[in-house]
Structure 1
Amino acid sequence: MDSVTQIALGAALGQAVLGHKVGYRAALWGGALATLPDLDVFVSMGGAVADFTYHRSFSHSLITLTLLTPLLAWLINKLHGQYPDLQRRWLLLVWLALVTHPILDSFTIYGTQLFWPLPVEPTGSGSIFIIDPLYTVPLLLGVVLALASRQADWGRKMNRVGLAFSSLYLIWGLSAQAYVTGIAEENLAASTDKNTPDKELLVTAGPFNTLLWRVLVMQDDGYLEGYYSLFDPDRRIEFEHYSSQPELLSGLQDHWPVSRLQWFSKGFFKVESAGNNDVIISDLRMGAEPAYVFTFKVAEQKGEDIVPVTDQRIEQPRDWGLAKQLLQRIVSRDN
């Protein structure tokens, strides 16, 4: 999730655990600690694909963060020498602020390596968009009201209400995703075009909401993309087919950026040749046709040969018009 949301969650948890004992310091430390896992973005991993796929790895590991918790809790309690009897409370605050960060991230589609260094596939359900006001705003309101009321019970209750609402919203997202997945499977089962059999299905939350869902279906000759809104009057999904050129990766199986992207994207990627003979791979999970957030050059075509190159990220311009269309699609299939 975005940094504001992570700070809000950490501050709300800090306020819930120790706000009645140490006041604003609990929310301050909770918010600060909740930002720590994302500091890995300032560490170069040695390449564009490495930076992309090692983000949310060691710094988002529940194992790493749990081991780090006692040291941080001891340092904080040492700094606040007037609270020697609250070591266990600080321990709980630190642990919750740290581990809820990657757990929340795992509800987005990016992919969080919760159990690094164990060889476990990244977790990314895609049941919530990376920015969703309905999740974030209740947390912020709860924290603000709690801090504004100082030690009043009603402020602490509002903070707990914000945490409860946001938690229930995550459950709602998973439920809505399961519902739309069932509809997508019905549509695919009823399809008369079986010339290109379906391989993988992915259903992810649309931009800034959990009412519109993007449906992606991988096929041998490309992929299908469609949208379904919970306001749609029927259970029909209109898919559009897009081509991919996986044959361009022939002979590149041992090229690390290629194999790494295939693994990290869980097979949801497209391959194409740009106008200047660049071979590029786009992660289809983040973005929408035709603009994707993570696109990388991994090889070049030189005559009949395809030669691996040092991976480079290709920046895609933000298409705010597409975002507007998708938000309008929530209430109308005609957009």
Structure 2
Amino acid sequence: MDSLTQIVLGAAVGEAVLGKKVGNKAMLFGAIAGTIPDLDVFARFLTDPVSAIEWHRGFSHSILFSILFAPIFGWIVFKLLPKKEASWKDWSWLMFWGLFTHPILDSFTTWGTQLFWPFKTRLAFQNIFVIDPLYTLPFLVLLVLAMFQKRTSIKRRRYNNWGLIISSAYLLLSLVLKAITYHKFTQALTEQGIEYIEIDTRPSPFNTILWTANVDTKDAYLIANYSFFDTKPITFESYPKNHELLGDLKNNDKVNRLERIAEGWYIITKDNGQLFFNDLRFGLMSMDPKEKNFAFKYQLTNTQGKLDIVETPKNVGDAKKLMRELWNRILGN
């Protein structure tokens, strides 16, 4: 999830664990713990793009990381604070839950997490977008209300608990919505006589009303959208896989690693002689059925046997256009 959401979750967990003893300091250090796993984004400055993608939501988002580093961070906090209102064990317990709940929440997103690192399995339930105001804003409001109550106040605990309950309930609701939309997509495929190998569904940005399906067929991927306000049948747009365009690069280690990252959901496109690797899992840059530009797109440049992979920059104008189109599409087809 986005940084604000993880800060809010970490602060609420910190309050639940230690708020009665140390007051708002529990929220502060819970928020810090909830931020730490995402420091892996700085890997992009230390290594190549493919390795940076692999590291993101890897070790720092694992159970192992939480267990190993919670006592270390707990000891640092214990030593830093002159007033010993809580023990080293208390602070370690707070840090553990702040670190651990971060990847748990991330596992519900499209990117997912390697919760069981060093095993390569990536958990990605894909039932909530990385930024969802309906999850975050009520949670944030209740956390702020709790912050201004005395540490021993019953209201403080109630506000914080309700924030945790409401956000968790919304997360569970999104799983139900995913199941309903999955049925809608598979039903449409059956009714239209479309044979498929696999289907992958996820919510569109910032909401759980409009959902997208990627459908794997023999030579192409189909992409479709469904809103709970739709009145017309679901339509599927075809995108040729074009994997053969890779040629000898099909056996390149970097390309193989990108394929594993995309979990097989990718197409290859060619523009002015340049190859592009398009990751389908994060959708298109427009709601236009004929859109060909994907949100995560990597340029493959092979120079004298050396392959360079660079993520293509996202256009701010395209993002604004997508937001306008997204709102219109949420309201129905």
The answer to whether TM tops 0.5 is yes
Query: Structure 1 residues 214 and 91 mapped into 2: Cα distance closer, same or farther (>3 Å)?
Result: same
Aligned position for 1:103: 104
User: Alpha carbons of 1:238 and 1:308: their partners in 2 closer, same or farther (altered >3 Å)?
Assistant: farther
Question: Paired residue for 1:313?
Answer: 311
CA-atom RMSD in angstroms: 2.0
Q: Which amino acid aligns with 1:168?
A: A
TM-fit CA distance, 1:309:
1.7
Task: Give the counterpart letter for 2:295 in structure 1.
Answer: V
Percent identical pairs in the alignment equals 37
Question: Where does 1:196-275 land on structure 2 (aligned, <5 Å)?
Answer: 197-233=195-231, 236-275=233-272
2:73 and 2:303 map into 1 onto residues whose CA distance is 51
Tell me the amino acid that sits aligned with residue 278 of structure 2. Answer: S
Moved over 3 A (4+): 84-88, 299-302
- Please tell me whether residue 4 in structure 1 is matched to residue 4 in structure 2: yes
Amino acid in the other structure paired with 1:53:
E
Following the alignment from structure 1 to structure 2, what is the Cα–Cα distance between the partners of residues 292 and 38? 24
1:106/1:123 contact within 8 Å kept: yes
Gaps of 5+ in 1: none
Would the aligned equivalents of 1:57 and 1:113 in 2 still touch at CA under 8 Å?
A: yes
For normalisation by structure 2, the TM-score amounts to: 0.91
Give how far 1:78 is off.
2.5
Q: Give the secondary structure class of the aligned counterpart of 1:59.
A: helix
- The one-character-per-residue Cα deviations of 1:152-200 (angstroms, maximum 9, x if unpaired) are 211221111011110111111111111111111111122235xxx4222
Hey, what's the Cα distance between the residues in 2 that align with 1:2 and 1:298? Answer: 29
Corresponding pairs, count: 323
Distance in 1 between residues matched to 2:292 and 2:167, nearest whole Å:
32
Cα displacement string for residues 273-311 of structure 1 (whole angstroms, at most 9, x for unaligned residues): 121x11110111113243323211224599xxxx66221
Q: Deviations over 1:133-166 (max 9, x none)?
A: 1111122112211111223211221111011110
Match of 1:285 in 2: 281
1:24-103 equivalences under 5 Å are 24-43=24-43, 44=45, 46-83=47-84, 86-103=87-104
**Rounded Cα–Cα distance in structure 1 between residues aligned with 2:53 and 2:315:** 18
Give the C-alpha shift of residue 259 in structure 1.
Answer: 0.6
Is 1:322 the counterpart of 2:318 in the alignment?
A: no
Q: For 1:57-92, what per-residue CA distance to the aligned partner results, in whole angstroms no more than 9, with x for missing partners?
A: 111111122111112112212223533653333222
